[in-house]
Chains A and B, each alone.
Chain A
Amino acid sequence: MMAVVLAEILAGLGLLFFGLKTMASHLQSATGRRVRRLLRSATGSPLAGLLSGIVAGAASQSSNAVALICGNLVRGGVFTTRDAIPVVAGGNVGTAALVFVAAFDFRLVVLYLLALVGFGFHVKLDRQPAWKEWIWVALGLTLALLGLDFIKQGPRDLDVALIAGALEAGLSPWAGFLIGMVAAALCQSSSTPTILVLALMQARLLGLEDAFFIVLGANLGSGLATLVSSGELEGTGRQLCYVHILVKAIGCVLLLGAWLAVALAGGDPEAVLAAAGGSGGPQTAISVLFLVLQLAGAVPVALLRGVTEKIAVHLSPPSVEDDASRPRYIHHRAVEEASTALDLSEQEGARLLKLLPNLLPDLDRGAEDYSPEARDAFWKGSTAIIHALDLFLVDVIRAGATRESLDIALQQQAQLETIRALVDTVHDFTGLVEDFESVPPLVFNLSESLRTIVLSLADAADGGAVEDFDLLIHLTADRSEMLDRIRRALAASAPGAEADSRRLMLATSLFERAVWLVRRIAVALRPPAIEDTAPEGDPARQEAPAEARLPHAGTGPRVRSAHDVHAH
């Protein structure tokens, strides 16, 4: 019998987790832009932030997901940690929706919902653009609710008297608190253990007092679990984890204090809790407790966001990556005015190019150079800015730009793709250079040459004149013949050194690709010289590199392998 009960509860948990994940991912696809807009509008006041967080938490049923989205928006410069605090706090309150649903008998609703979803798939709604994400959201919701029902029905066949006796003998408030903490840490959620508590209460295995301490433990446990699961996060990302823990901890302290205060005043805290459930009974009382627990933590954290921010920043100061991933020019409020927005995005793109030398090692400086970890943080930062810039340009285009602005926006998008390719190529090249225990002369020459070229690009992007771009275009002229010669020499290297040869060949290919991408960017950015506008044959017309007047074409040199060179 026990095996059947366990299987039902585990199957229920499996369905719940899968349903919530399916719902969250398809909801994000269906409403991603609207959710971002909702969260952006949350910057007005703590109350607006709290309400937006509640909506986002209720929709995603994951306070971690809300914290993660906020972390990305903070790193993307859409809003500050201070703006994100009420949203993260509100996300916790929103998750109470599932606990409330679990307190009611919804079996019939689930069955009808399941039928509707099934019919929806049968009539191929999942292939219609307007419906395809929503039908999956509905399936996710149905499976999550079905999972909840399994969990609630599971314990009904247990030997109630036997287990109740064991629980009565062994479950002290602290044991309950500890069980809740461990369960929440395992599930990475406070609502799942609370739903299990509701199921056990339905089977009359748990009393209100036991449930109170388990729910409190689960609440604190899920906060601490966030800290453990965010082990690799630093800076701003971790700050929001501390905000999350603060919400949970303050809620626990206040509710535990209230319980003890009632007991010390000679009252019966269990009776007070039961009264909170009204006519809904003990299960509703626990749902109300869960909601009050979230509100008790969220409201002070949101309203005193200045103090919360100080605590979070003290516990996790901003990292190099945070600073590197924050756009300096683009801002979502600028989207409405296309020409200003495009000026800002152009400046942001130029800033990316100016940051590019940070991605390459300065082999000459040795120990004084940035560490590989710092360079990796700069790369992640650049990647985050590129992503933010990409979304910004899409927003500008969607906002309804003029034909001229649209052309510029599309050109900037194409340029951004080239910058993205260059950033990634330089990052790969750096990784290869750093892998060598002792840098070979060829790699030193490639690395210092690429550094010189990238520094020249950074100079030109920083308000450089036509001559700077012409010099850069000249400097990045085709050198495939010379590099092929080097590769052929490497291919003919002594037996036993093939592995090193392969790495050296890869370094030459990445170098060649990076140089080609720099040239492409230089050609695209080169401003037209006064001489360029003079008529053909006019002595004032200075010959600009031919490519500077040609549309971009081709995909550039591909990264070659040793096999290619042998075949050649």
Chain B
Amino acid sequence: MTSMHIDREQSGNDVLLKVVGRLDTPNAKPFEASLMEVVSQTTGGIIVNLSGVDYVSSSGLRALLVAGKSMRTGKRKLALTALQPQIREVFDISGFSSLFEIT
């Protein structure tokens, strides 16, 4: 199992999460848990920096989808930033690019 780190930073009302590692099956659950913890503990937006992520599988996408659904229900913003080109392609193909704000 390849390890994954998530650094958390507060930026005004929003929370910035910087993810480093692979968003694969073993890491998807802890990633989803971290995201949901932020969703439940805060009221502002969440910005996920994916510059350190070079692999996303369906499990990683689903973790983002679960968090995205909760944020949508609360009419809150979940944005993704600094995607590597191959990760951007997965997001475009899966339709996630239209679901999240990507910068």
Interface of chain B, main secondary structure:
helix
Encoded as 1 (CB less than 8 Å from any B CB) or 0, chain A from 415 to 438 comes to 000000000000000000000000
B9 within 8 A of A: no
- Closest Cβ–Cβ distance, residue A147 to chain B (whole Å): 59
Q: Hey, which chain A residues are within 8 Å of B69, CB to CB?
A: 467-468, 471
- Closest Cβ–Cβ distance, residue B1 to chain A (whole Å): 12
Q: Hey, which chain B residues are within 8 Å of A449, CB to CB?
A: 58, 61, 90, 93-95
16 inter-chain pairs at a CB distance below 8 angstroms, sorted by A residue, are A362-B58, A363-B57, A364-B57, A441-B86, A445-B86, A445-B90, A446-B93, A449-B90, A452-B58, A452-B62, A453-B95, A471-B99, A474-B99, A477-B98, A479-B92, A515-B95
When C-beta atoms are compared, the residue in chain B nearest to A365 turns out to be: B25
Which of B61, B72, B89, B92 is A452 in contact with, Cβ under 8 Å? B61
A448 and B95 contacting across the interface, CB-CB below 8 Å: no
B65 within 8 A of A: yes
Q: Hey, which chain B residues are within 8 Å of A364, CB to CB?
A: 24-25, 57-59
B58 and A467 contacting across the interface, CB-CB below 8 Å: no
Known: A449-B94, A467-B72. A455 touches B58 (CB 8 A): yes
Encoded as 1 (CB less than 8 Å from any B CB) or 0, chain A from 71 to 102 comes to 00000000000000000000000000000000
- Closest Cβ–Cβ distance, residue B92 to chain A (whole Å): 6
Residues of B at under 8 Å CB distance from A? 24-25, 56-59, 61-62, 65, 69, 72-73, 86, 89-90, 92-96, 98-99
The complex places the Cα of A95 from the Cα of B98 at a distance, in Å, of 65
Q: Hey, which chain A residues are within 8 Å of B90, CB to CB?
A: 445, 448-449
When C-beta atoms are compared, the residue in chain A nearest to B91 turns out to be: A449
9 more contacts with CB within 8 A, not counting A445-B93, A471-B99, A479-B93, are A448-B57, A448-B58, A449-B61, A449-B95, A452-B58, A452-B61, A471-B65, A477-B95, A482-B93
Q: Hey, which chain B residues are within 8 Å of A362, CB to CB?
A: 25, 57-58
A475 and B94 contacting across the interface, CB-CB below 8 Å: yes
Q: Hey, which chain A residues are within 8 Å of B93, CB to CB?
A: 445-446, 449, 479, 482-483, 511
How many residues from A make CB contacts under 8 Å with B?
27
A52 within 8 A of B: no
B98 and A474 contacting across the interface, CB-CB below 8 Å: yes
A451 within 8 A of B: yes
B99 and A475 contacting across the interface, CB-CB below 8 Å: yes
Residues of A at under 8 Å CB distance from B? 362-365, 441-442, 445-446, 448-449, 451-453, 455-456, 467-468, 471, 474-477, 479, 482-483, 511, 515
The complex places the Cα of A445 from the Cα of B96 at a distance, in Å, of 12
Q: Hey, which chain B residues are within 8 Å of A448, CB to CB?
A: 56-58, 61, 90, 94
Q: Hey, which chain B residues are within 8 Å of A468, CB to CB?
A: 69
B72 and A482 contacting across the interface, CB-CB below 8 Å: no
- What 6 A-B pairs are tightest by C-beta distance, nearest first? A449-B94, A364-B57, A451-B58, A475-B95, A452-B61, A448-B58
A445 and B95 contacting across the interface, CB-CB below 8 Å: no
Q: Hey, which chain B residues are within 8 Å of A482, CB to CB?
A: 92-93
A479 and B58 contacting across the interface, CB-CB below 8 Å: no
When C-beta atoms are compared, the residue in chain A nearest to B23 turns out to be: A364
The complex places the Cα of A88 from the Cα of B63 at a distance, in Å, of 51
- Closest Cβ–Cβ distance, residue A377 to chain B (whole Å): 22
- Closest Cβ–Cβ distance, residue A426 to chain B (whole Å): 14
